[in-house]
Structure 1
Amino acid sequence: MARYIFITGGVVSSLGKGLASAALGALLQARGFKVRLRKLDPYLNVDPGTMSPYQHGEVYVTDDGAETDLDLGHYERFTGRPTSKQDNITTGRIYQEIIAKERRGDYLGATVQVIPHVTDAIKEFVLTGNEGYDFVLVEVGGTVGDIEALPFFEAIRQIGNDQPRGHCIYIHLTLLPFIPSAGELKTKPTQHSVKELRSIGIQPDILLCRTDRPIPKDERRKLGLFCNVRESAVIEARDVGTIYEVPIAYHNEGLDQEVLAAFGIDTAPQPNLTGWNEIIDRIKNPEGEVTIAVVGKYTGLKDAYKSLIESLAHGGIANRVKVNLDWIEAEIFEHEDPTPFLEHVHGILVPGGFGPRGVEGKIKAATFARERNVPYFGICLGMQMAVVEAARNLAGIEGANSTEFGPATEPVVGLMTEWLRGNELEQRKEGGDLGGTMRLGAYQARLLEGSKVADIYGSTEISERHRHRYEVNTAYVSRLEEKGMRFCGLSPDGILPEIVEIEGHPWFVGVQFHPELKSRPFEPHPLFASFIEAAVVQSRLV
């Protein structure tokens, strides 16, 4: 029978509950346990798919096509276990399902209320499908005290009562701020946060305290006394140099041992952390370094590119080099020559995005990479803009553009209204809902034998995750291939272009999908490993 670990947050947001959950999951997994991680998000959006990256950060897409919170990316990277739409739920989705039931008459005669109907729906989500798992880690988004999170806190409180004794614990992640003028860490915010949590019926078993310096023994003792937890259960979560140090740091502080003790488990094997130590060694002792320019639209908020950042780091791990990122807002190139910004870099990556802002700058970045033989990696919109650039500057199609940005005389990229998922035809209307209507999730692709990407993958059959509405128009393929842009990856039916590369270029690849969503520190995605390898070669030429 599965045991449940609920991770809540207090004092301030963005403390890293998702990372803490993922790291704890990795530690339990390293001890031989089977773990599952899930996320409860209190916002009213059905999913984050329609939210601005500046509001929410990256939208993480699962194999089954769910648009989810970026913390699911942490879960997958740290445990290697794929997540699904059943691992993330929002208030919006809960209410959508409850209101649909009410309209159908499922609650006929009853007054539909937060308790028990909303809390029961949350409990059903948390408890369903956990057969075969030893531990289910459930992260509650937001901060204790948030009004919108109250139904979730009530639901996890009820689960604690419903489960057999010893099958449910609560971990509370808080902040211990350091006040320079006082010269000390302050425990009062954590005390108040725990008081708020206890007022709604939840007593934390473990305190995970974020701090930038060691916690004195007296302060640990004070936290234990005032928060009603054992002193040994006050765990220091100090800042580390890389997120991949977190599992080791937590283990050294005794988090996983304290979790097992809270469940009364005293016979678990010690965790095998050899792989994590190897990752840290490669990060801390690189044999070189490269600089990658990321020409994007949301560079003001790095969380918008969370999986991308980690995938580039994984490429560095694979090649044992440090990857420095040079963030460049694409709009700059619409007014300035890109040469001063790009002439020193060893690779150029143009990521995905939506809308017309900055696209001409992305096109100029592709031009620079193509003409200067600098390794280029275009992802989703970055691939589409590389195709538009080639259409304009290689094939002489002056009006080449995407209909995403308005009417185009030469629609090299156009709106996709139907496609195949296996044998099933999926259709979308141009004026339909935006939420959940893109080509989402894992799709198969076939690679051209002998192409660069087929060599990189070591296969001609791949599966990658997608999130887009627009596709390269196949009517232009032959004209582009005549000029050296090879369409080396297609959907199994041969209709949708998936990958392009430029013949004779050291490394110029554009992909319609998002490979960053499947990269792991122990299994770097082959495209990122190869891209960084090409950047290493370029670094010797610059």
Structure 2
Amino acid sequence: MKKVRYIFMTGGVASSLGKGVSIASIGALLEARGFKVTIQKLDPYINIDPGTMSPFQHGEVYVTEDGAETDLDLGYYERFTSAVLGRENSVSTGQIYHSVISRERRGEYLGRTVQVIPHITNEIKNRILLLSQMDSELDFILVEIGGTVGDIESVPFLEAIRQFRLDQGQDNTMFIHLTLVPSITKGGEIKTKPTQHSVKELQQQGIQPDILLCRTVEPLEAEVKEKISLFCNVSPNRVFSAPDIDHTIYEIPQIFHSENLDAEIINYFRMESKSGEYLLDLNPMLAKWEQVVDVFVNPRHHVKIAVVGKYMALHDAYRSLYEAMTHGGFPKKISVEFTKIDSEKVDAENYRHLLKEANGILVPGGFGERGVEGKLLAIRYARENKVPYFGICLGMQCAVIEFARNVLGYKDAHSTEFDPDSPYPVISLMEEQTAIVNKGGTMRLGAYPCKLREGSLIAEAYMQQVIQERHRHRFEFNNKYRSAFENAGLRLSGLSPDETLVETVELDRAAHPFFVGTQYHPEFKSKPLSPHPLFKRFIEKSAGL
């Protein structure tokens, strides 16, 4: 079996420093050198997964191909690299304890006292090793430890990776610590004490970082790096700046490369780039990242997209969606600006005013009745005023409801999710969902095939007839209304292969420039170097191209 190297990233001082984007950027640089990588997130929360968490607390739930409901950081991992992740790449404390307790109940520990060490830590180590067992071609497994050093919840994970180094050897493992180096005075004086204390806390867990990534406003001067090196027991050439970005997170691979971070990682493991003579400035992969950044610096066009949803207060609640729309502008250098509209605050008096400057309107997914009527008004505005519209999951369902009410004349048409007694239940619960009580992990989840109608707008965007997209929902288009919608002009342009489920709807292009709804979530498969075709078409139509 191929020798796999392991890189562990921890964080200190404060949350939200950017561990997910940082480790994803390292993955991108290693891929640019010709290595195969995968990335895993170890999260300290006791939930089995984020599927039942509020988006206001935890941000979006990112769905993988195999149907795992995971942390939004897995979205960064997939967007920055070519890795296709699954449920094994997202591990929580809840999963670890559930597995260990289940074994204990089955008697697998033969009467032993079950403890954090060794049983919990062994389970954590097994989850890391599982990735190499699943793919014998991997060169690197990158592992992000959620939370910050000093959190009581993170202790078992830190102990597990300390033991992991003993098991695998120092030459096969690397510890990277992302920490804050703030500037807290008017004169911009850099303070290294938070980093010193963070590293000290990590050392108390038995872990000495091999590399320090320092979040700063500006790149660190050499003398500051030397001070950090001295007090943190890390070589000066392994203290790196992670400065604030100017335009976009997609600058980060270039920033890390300019700091020689990827070169130092390769040197640490005594490896050579698979591409042999390594000139990253000429590397086609990094050149593509440069082209992405150039769109933010020198755009040719500009569009304003109104996003009408219920979780607008937190940007991370629709993180993949915003990223996918941004990606959609890359091929034709379109800068995308978002107008975030809380659908609860949209009413019959203000919806025209709120939407009048929008070049395109998008209604995303969500759960619960709150804000639905505001979404319906936004969709009506888009349909009647021929503003490009894209509805995703609930956004597609709302498009169906709006069309039923205002075109078909089905007064009080609704989804049975919101009105079980509607006289026109145009959206209804999937039959296999009717007896389900548990909420977590019980929806239609993961990738399913979809057959597109030949000649449809959506088939032209994909340039293929059969696609595979990721789902996360319980309710579906009610099949008994199919002919009524088709006859009135809403085309059912995508169906499941057995033709039992409606996956996409659209208005004929003669009636509207772009009015598309998808039951699935295309945002989960969009990447900056490979924008999703539907977002590309939506943004271009919004720009009038």
If the TM-score is normalised by the length of the shorter chain, which range does it land in? Answer: over 0.9
Match of 1:199 in 2: 204
Q: How does 1:451-530 map to 2 (within 5 A)?
A: 451-503=456-508, 504-530=511-537
Q: Is residue 134 from structure 1 mapped to residue 136 from structure 2 by the alignment?
A: no
Alignment partners' CA distance in 1, 2:333 and 2:414: 39
Q: Residue 180 of structure 1 aligns to which amino acid in structure 2?
A: T
Match of 2:65 in 1: 63
Residue-by-residue CA offset, 1:494-532 (whole Å, 9 max, x unaligned): 111100001221100000000000001111000000001
Q: Is residue 256 from structure 1 mapped to residue 258 from structure 2 by the alignment?
A: no
Alignment partners' CA distance in 2, 1:387 and 1:433: 28
Match of 1:77 in 2: 79
Residue-by-residue CA offset, 1:281-334 (whole Å, 9 max, x unaligned): 233211110110000110100001111111011011022110111111011113
Q: Is residue 15 from structure 1 mapped to residue 22 from structure 2 by the alignment?
A: no
Q: In structure 2, which of residues 251, 267, 270 is the aligned counterpart of residue 245 of structure 1?
A: 251
Q: Give the 3 Å change call, closer, same or farther, for CA 270–36 of structure 1 in structure 2.
A: farther
Q: Residue 281 of structure 1 aligns to which amino acid in structure 2?
A: D
Alignment partners' CA distance in 2, 1:317 and 1:363: 30
Equivalent position SS for 2:60: coil
- How far off is 1:429 after superposition? 4.3
Q: In structure 2, which of residues 81, 106, 109 is the aligned counterpart of residue 107 of structure 1?
A: 109
Is contact 1:80–1:520 with CA below 8 Å preserved after alignment?
no
Q: In structure 1, which of residues 314, 323, 326 is the aligned counterpart of residue 339 of structure 2?
A: 326
Match of 1:119 in 2: 121
Alignment partners' CA distance in 2, 1:484 and 1:81: 40
Equivalent position SS for 1:319: coil
Q: In structure 2, which of residues 427, 431, 439 is the aligned counterpart of residue 417 of structure 1?
A: 431
CA RMSD, 1 decimal: 1.2
Q: Residue 12 of structure 1 aligns to which amino acid in structure 2?
A: A
Alignment partners' CA distance in 1, 2:80 and 2:540: 24
Alignment partners' CA distance in 2, 1:195 and 1:215: 21
- How far off is 1:280 after superposition? 1.6
Match of 1:434 in 2: 439
Match of 2:356 in 1: 343
- How far off is 1:446 after superposition? 0.6
- How far off is 1:74 after superposition? 0.6
- What is the TM-score when the length of structure 2 is the normalising length? 0.95
Residue-by-residue CA offset, 1:317-375 (whole Å, 9 max, x unaligned): 02211011111101111363211111111100000000011000000011000000000
Residue-by-residue CA offset, 1:156-200 (whole Å, 9 max, x unaligned): 000011113410010000111111246311110110000000001
Q: Residue 447 of structure 1 aligns to which amino acid in structure 2?
A: L
Q: Is residue 448 from structure 1 mapped to residue 453 from structure 2 by the alignment?
A: yes
- How far off is 1:482 after superposition? 1.6
Match of 2:98 in 1: 96
Equivalent position SS for 1:467: strand
Alignment partners' CA distance in 1, 2:375 and 2:470: 22
Match of 1:423 in 2: none
- How far off is 1:265 after superposition? 2.9
Equivalent position SS for 1:449: coil
Equivalent position SS for 2:341: strand
Q: Is residue 392 from structure 1 mapped to residue 397 from structure 2 by the alignment?
A: no
Alignment partners' CA distance in 2, 1:190 and 1:430: 52
Q: Residue 534 of structure 2 aligns to which amino acid in structure 1?
A: L
- What is the TM-score when the length of structure 1 is the normalising length? 0.96
Q: Residue 514 of structure 2 aligns to which amino acid in structure 1?
A: W
Equivalent position SS for 1:537: coil
Q: Residue 520 of structure 2 aligns to which amino acid in structure 1?
A: F
Match of 1:379 in 2: 392
Equivalent position SS for 1:184: coil
User: Structure 1 stretch 328-337 or stretch 143-152: which is displaced more?
Assistant: 328-337
- How far off is 1:148 after superposition? 0.7
Aligned length: 529
Q: Residue 536 of structure 2 aligns to which amino acid in structure 1?
A: A
Unpaired segments ≥5 residues, structure 2: none
Match of 2:319 in 1: 306
Residue-by-residue CA offset, 1:397-443 (whole Å, 9 max, x unaligned): 1020011113222211111132xxxxxxxxx4445100000000000
Q: Residue 333 of structure 1 aligns to which amino acid in structure 2?
A: V
Alignment partners' CA distance in 1, 2:349 and 2:64: 38
Is contact 1:319–1:529 with CA below 8 Å preserved after alignment?
no
Match of 1:422 in 2: none
Is contact 2:505–2:516 with CA below 8 Å preserved after alignment?
yes
Is contact 2:436–2:442 with CA below 8 Å preserved after alignment?
no
Q: Residue 408 of structure 2 aligns to which amino acid in structure 1?
A: A
